[in-house]
Each structure stands twice: as C-alpha cells, then as structure tokens.
Amino acid sequence: MTNTQQFANKTVLISGASVAGPALAFWLREYGFTVTVVEQAPALREGGYKVDIRGVAMEVIDRMGLSNEIRKASTDMRGGAWVDANGKPLATLGPDLIGLRSPGDDEVLRGDLARILFDASKNGVEYRFGDSITGLVEHADGVEVHFRTAAPRVFDLVIGADGMHSTVRRSVFGPEERFARHTGMAACVISVPNYLDLDHWELLHATPGKMVQVYSTQQASAKAQFIFPAPEQLPDRRDIAAQQRLVAEVFADGGWEVANLLRAMPDSPDFYFDTVSQIHLEHWSRGRVALLGDAAYCPSPLSGQGTSMALVGAYVLAGELRAAAGDHRVAFAAYQDRLREYIDANLTLGWNNATQMVAGDAKALRMQTTMLKMLRYLPWKGLALRPIIKPIEKAANAVRLRTY
C-alpha cells in the first residue's frame, strides 16, 4: 500500500475507541492520513456480551489481515439451551442455530474485538484516553476542536464514532431525541463468576416481557445479559448504582438463577446498560464532520448487526476518503451512497430482531416455548430455522465492497 498520495485533507480526529473508531483509524493510517483518536474512558473499555461479525463484515476483517486473530478470539460456542424456572432444558440448540449464524460468520466478545482493533491500529495513530470533545467550530479550512482536558486543536476532518449517545452528533446534528427510535426495552450486561460451570455453553430463561442469558467461554468467568421493558423514567446514564437498582427491582421476582446473578451484579467490573434503541439520520455528514457506526446508524444492542455495520462503515468511509484524495465533500457523499441500502436493510432487520427477541406476554411466551419444545423432535432444525436465518444473511451481504 502506498502512503505517498497527496490529500486535500490529511488530519482526522476520531471520537470513540470501541469498534468503529479503531477500525476507521486502521484504514486511514494505512492510506497515509494522520489520525488522532479521543476516547472518554480512561482505558480501552472491556465488557459487553458476545457480538456477531457477519457477511461482508468478515470480508472487511479478512482485508484487514485480522482473520486469524478473530478466529483465535472466537467464542467457539458449542451451543446452548432454553431453560424453565427450574433449570430444566426446554430446547437445546447447536452453535450456529442459537446464534442464527451462517457459515463463515463468527462471534467474539465485544471487549476482545475492541482489543484486536486497537492493537492493529495503535502504531502510527495517536490515541488519547480519558478525554472528550466539548466543542466543535467549523471554519473554511478545518474544524477547531475543544477538549475537556487537552488544549484546543484544529483538524481537517472530525468523525464521530462515539456510539449511540454520540457527543459529536449532538454538537453538530442536534439532540438525540430527534434521531432515536426506542423499542421500549433496555438491556444490561455484567460479568459474573462461572459458578454454573458453563463450558462454551449458553443458558436462556424467559418470562413474559423479560429474558436472562448467561454464557461462558472461560473457566472462571461468565457474562449475564438481562433484557427487560424500559421504564418511562430511566436512571441517568452515568449513575451505575441507580441502573443496578433498576435491574434488581425489575427482576426481583427471580426464578431460575436470577437471584444469584443479581447478587453478583455489584461486583461486576464491566457493567453495561443501555436502552434498546436505534439511530436514524437522513445525512451522516455535515461539512467537515461525519458520523460512523452506532453514532450514525445504531441498529440497537439486541440487533446482532451493529458490530458488522461499524466494521463495514469504517472500511467504506476510509476507502472513499482515499479515493477522493481527502476531499470530504466527494468522500462523505460516496460513503452514504454506497452504504445506504446496506444500512437500511440492517436497520430494518435489527428492529425486527430486537422487538421479537423477547416474548411480550404470557400467551406469546407459551407459543415460543411450544415452538422451542417442538424443535427437539425436528430432525432438520436448520431447515426449520432457515426462514429466520435467510433474511439475516441477505442483510449482512447487502453491499459489494470496492477495493480502494
């Protein structure tokens, strides 16, 4: 790859170092841009449940030369079981069926993926942890950026890869309420001791409107996810104690292992909590500022698509900047044109996945349970689930990647 190209805009500030930010930093550095990443957390954030990398996103991973790292980090799940309140299995599914994956797709812990992308991009990229953007002023030839702790600096371009509650989006495009669509659900992920002795195995327990999942790929620790209806009045995003109280109250009726998992919650080193919401924007850029990943098109944390969309978005945005020799007007327009169909397909799928994952009431739960029990007697479970897997496969491949 040649780095001698002359660019109309060369210095790029990326806000957010999770999945989208480091993936973009990787490609921009490869193409010869000068990249700075600012992340508000004091260090790379671990945590989160396992995430899928599907379809063309696996091709992006391959083009990054990271297929081996991803394979090594793969959760390698053997499968899982839906269990009733006594822990009795209602249905047992193999790894691809429980994750609704197609051949070639993979699944990793979100924290592992963030670490792999950070390690692959850190050389030659300036990472600033523990800081964030407080103000952006666009001029004809650059963007003046103000930070919480660092001195102000001017960058040619600014990219908001700072997630569903993006500060860059709020500063440049407007308040979150304008772009957010809520499913009415919330999700929380914690790390707990693997006292259930799960070995690359997942357990799922549903009650009307709520679900708890636990899995482990390591001997010592496991991840638990709680999904539940979001109350009208949500705790402040920074108030972890109030969020934990809310989860404990919602699941106070217990059942199965819920009480034990809740007891472990205060000791979790990496508590994650958010509403199950989407972000929809008509335009992903304004002037010298563009948005990427969840900041631009969050499909919701329960969609199974967000990580793939962030990886593909980063590849196309960086590639179009290179193809346009850094001309942001051309590149940002091409980024949106090339990806719109793919993003829209995945937002639609993400909405359906997120809203149908949890049975809303007792009747729906009875139907879900009956179907799960029936699966046991079907010799071709894969065939029975094909109508569910096919649309995921289609959306995950709804774009052809250019070579830049």
Ligand X SMILES: Cc1cc2nc3c(=O)[nH]c(=O)nc-3n(C[C@H](O)[C@H](O)[C@H](O)COP(=O)(O)OP(=O)(O)OC[C@H]3O[C@@H](n4cnc5c(N)ncnc54)[C@H](O)[C@@H]3O)c2cc1C
- Chain residues in the site for ligand X (CB under 6 A): 15-21, 38-41, 45, 47-49, 51, 110, 132-133, 161-164, 167, 189, 272, 293-294, 301, 306-307, 310
What is residue 245's three-state secondary structure?
Answer: helix
The overall longest dimension of the chain from CA atoms, in Å, is 67
Shortest reach from residue 307's CB to ligand X, in Å: 4
Choice between 49 and 173, CB closer to ligand X: 49
Choice between 90 and 206, CB closer to ligand X: 206
Shortest reach from residue 401's CB to ligand X, in Å: 18
Choice between 81 and 164, CB closer to ligand X: 164
CB-count burial class (<10 Å; 0-12, 13-18, 19+) for 88: exposed
Choice between 47 and 124, CB closer to ligand X: 47
Which residue has 């060369």 as its token pair? 10
Choice between 7 and 26, CB closer to ligand X: 26
Give me the sheet containing 133-139, strands edge to edge. 133-139, 142-147, 153-155
Choice between 223 and 338, CB closer to ligand X: 223
- The residue type at 230: A
Choice between 106 and 294, CB closer to ligand X: 294
The span from the CA of 166 to the CA of 397, in Å, is 27
Shortest reach from residue 162's CB to ligand X, in Å: 4
Choice between 186 and 189, CB closer to ligand X: 189
The span from the CA of 316 to the CA of 78, in Å, is 34
Shortest reach from residue 141's CB to ligand X, in Å: 24
Residues paired with residue 273 on neighbouring β-strands, in sequence order: 188
Residues paired with residue 187 on neighbouring β-strands, in sequence order: 227, 274
Choice between 7 and 22, CB closer to ligand X: 22
Taking CA 317 as the corner, what is the angle to CA 315 and CA 319, rounded to the nearest 5 degrees?
Answer: 65
Shortest reach from residue 291's CB to ligand X, in Å: 9
Shortest reach from residue 192's CB to ligand X, in Å: 14
Q: Which of 32, 26, 46 is nearest to 127 (CA)?
A: 26
**Number of C-alpha atoms within 13 angstroms, CB side, residue 390?**
6
Shortest reach from residue 306's CB to ligand X, in Å: 3
Choice between 240 and 364, CB closer to ligand X: 240
Q: Are 188 and 296 a contacting pair, CB within 8 Å? A: no
Shortest reach from residue 269's CB to ligand X, in Å: 11
Distances (CA, A) of 350 to 124, 215, 303: 35, 22, 4
Shortest reach from residue 359's CB to ligand X, in Å: 20
E strand spans, 141-209? 142-147, 153-155, 157-160, 180-193, 201-207
Q: What token pair was written down for 268? A: 């979790």
The span from the CA of 3 to the CA of 49, in Å, is 37
- The residue type at 214: V
The span from the CA of 98 to the CA of 342, in Å, is 24
Shortest reach from residue 16's CB to ligand X, in Å: 3
The span from the CA of 296 to the CA of 228, in Å, is 25
